Amino acid sequence: MKTIIIIPTYNEKDNIEKMINTVISMPDYIEVLIVDDNSPDGTAQIVESLMSENKRIHLLKRDKKEGLGPAYIAGFSHAFTMNPKYVVEMDCDFSHPPLTVIKFVERMEAENLDLLIGSRYSDGISIVNWPMKRLILSYYANKYTRFVLGSKINDLTGGFKCFRVSVLEKMKFNKILSAGYSFQIEINNAFEKNKKLVKEEPIIFYERRFGASKMSGNIIFEALFRVLRLKFRNQKQYFNN
Ligand SMILES: Nc1nc2c(ncn2[C@@H]2O[C@H](COP(=O)(O)OP(=O)(O)O)[C@@H](O)[C@H]2O)c(=O)[nH]1
Ligand SMILES: [Mg+2]
């Protein structure tokens, strides 16, 4: 049940070493792939120095910052060459409790899931330390998206999730329109509308303590319009067969 946690990074020097050490302290079937977009703060160099001591640490270096979507797509394709059973999306900032990955894999196995989404909105709202404005924006963006797309998912925008590789591999990544925040929405919706087995696992989300968020209000508003476009898009085109 080899599982690769894919972590996109941009200027995460304050978090990266602790994050990698946390991941490699987990069971051996869990490996980590850092996808760095040439962070000016030297994040990739820190990864390189840690890699020389442990084979479960991998690094994909990219030339420039292009947003989360392209970083994940490059990371997925790179991870597939290592033949994992599952891949996980996770931030580098400890917002997503890393040990939950073990729970993800247990549920993927036990329930034969295709996608398991770490959810901040399944048990009421489980977010620690967000300004009220951001909380309200995110909460209602999710309600709106869920309504427009007719989705059963409570947390459509979160970035902590586990995919079954045999299913994700069949996705046509070149059909994905979104580079920013709506990347998560687009993939979740494509899975759901193509009858893949999607569930949520409640998580407690902690706002980052070190480094800066790359999120902006603009990205959220872009996502609101993208949702309308996705609603009228043929969802079959996202998957081979
Ligand atoms: N490779 C790459 N990573 C990014 C980019 N933008 C953000 N990240 C990383 O993606 C994760 C999520 O971004 P973050 O700033 O935490 O956004 P937030 O969680 O929405 O506040 C973090 O690990 C960032 O370092 C990007 O353009 N390229
Ligand atoms: Mg984050």
Residue 100: what residue type? T
Q: Is 92 in the pocket of ligand 1 (CB under 6 A)?
A: yes
Tell whether ligand 1 has an atom less than 6 A from the beta carbon of residue 213. Answer: yes
pLDDT in tens, 90-105: 999 999 999 999 999 9
120, 45 contact by CB (below 8 A): no
Q: How confident is the model at residue 226 (pLDDT cuts 50, 70, 90)?
A: very high
129-148 pLDDT per residue, tens: 999 988 998 999 999 999 99
CB half-sphere exposure, 65, CA atoms < 13 A: 7
Compute, in angstroms, the gap from residue 214 CA to the centroid of ligand 2: 8
* Distance from residue 207's CA to the centre of ligand 1 (Å): 13
- Report how far ligand 2's centroid is from the alpha carbon of 159 (Å): 8
- Determine whether the shortest distance from the Cβ of 175 to ligand 1 is under 6 A: no
pLDDT (tens digit, 9 = 90+) per residue, 65-79? 998 999 999 999 999
Range of the domain at 40: 3-238
Paired with 205 in beta bridges are 127
User: For the chain, what is the mean pLDDT?
Assistant: 95
Any atom of ligand 1 within 6 Å of the Cβ of 186 = no
Query: What was the pLDDT predicted at 194?
Result: 98
Helices marked H in the chain: 16-24, 43-51, 68-80, 100-111, 132-149, 165-168, 182-193, 217-231
Q: Is 199 in the pocket of ligand 1 (CB under 6 A)?
A: no
Reported as a pLDDT band with limits 50, 70 and 90, residue 221 is confident
Alpha-carbon gap, residue 210 to 84, rounded angstroms: 30
Residue 89 CB less than 6 A away from ligand 1 = no
Q: How confident is the model at residue 215 (pLDDT cuts 50, 70, 90)?
A: low
Kindly give the distance from the C-alpha atom of residue 40 to the centroid of ligand 1, in angstroms, as a whole number. 14
**What pLDDT was estimated at residue 222?**
76
Which 8-state DSSP code applies to residue 209?
A: S
> Whose C-alpha lies nearest to ligand 1, atom 11?
91
Residues 6+ apart with CB under 8 A from 231: 148, 149
Could you give the CA distance from residue 64 to residue 205 in angstroms, rounded to a whole number?
Answer: 28
pLDDT digits (tens, 9 = 90+) for 143-198: 999 999 999 999 999 999 999 999 999 999 999 999 877 999 999 999 999 999 99
The values of phi and psi at residue 200, to 5°, are -120, 150
* DSSP bridge partners of 171: 239
So what's the pLDDT on residue 216?
66
For residue 52, what pLDDT is reported?
A: 93
How many structural domains is the chain composed of? 1
Task: Kindly indicate the confidence band of residue 2, based on its pLDDT and cuts at 50, 70 and 90.
Answer: very high
* Angle ∠(170,117,167) on CA atoms, nearest 5: 15
In the prediction, which pLDDT does 205 show?
A: 97
- CATH number assigned to the domain comprising residue 8: 3.90.550.10
Model confidence band, residue 123 (pLDDT cutoffs 50, 70, 90): confident
Q: How far is the CA of 117 from the centre of ligand 1 (A)?
A: 18
Closest CA to 142 of 201, 220, 215, 214: 220
pLDDT digits (tens, 9 = 90+) for 17-66: 999 999 999 999 999 999 999 999 999 999 999 999 999 999 999 999 99
The closest residue, in CA terms, to atom 25 on ligand 1 is 9
Handedness of CA 15, 26, 7, 226 (dihedral sign): negative
Q: What is the largest CA-CA distance in the chain?
A: 49
Q: Which atom of ligand 1 is nearest to the CA of 95?
A: 19
Query: Measured on CA atoms in the order 34, 38, 40, 45, is the torsion positive or negative?
Result: positive
Contact of 118 with 184, CB cutoff 8 Å: no
Residue 179, sorted as left (phi over 0), alpha (psi -120 to 50) or beta, turns out to be alpha
Quote the pLDDT of residue 217: 63
Mutate to test the pocket of ligand 1, among 9, 62, 222 (most ligand atoms within 8 A of CB): 9
Q: What is the pLDDT of residue 98?
A: 97
The answer to whether 72 touches 8, Cβ cutoff 8 Å, is yes
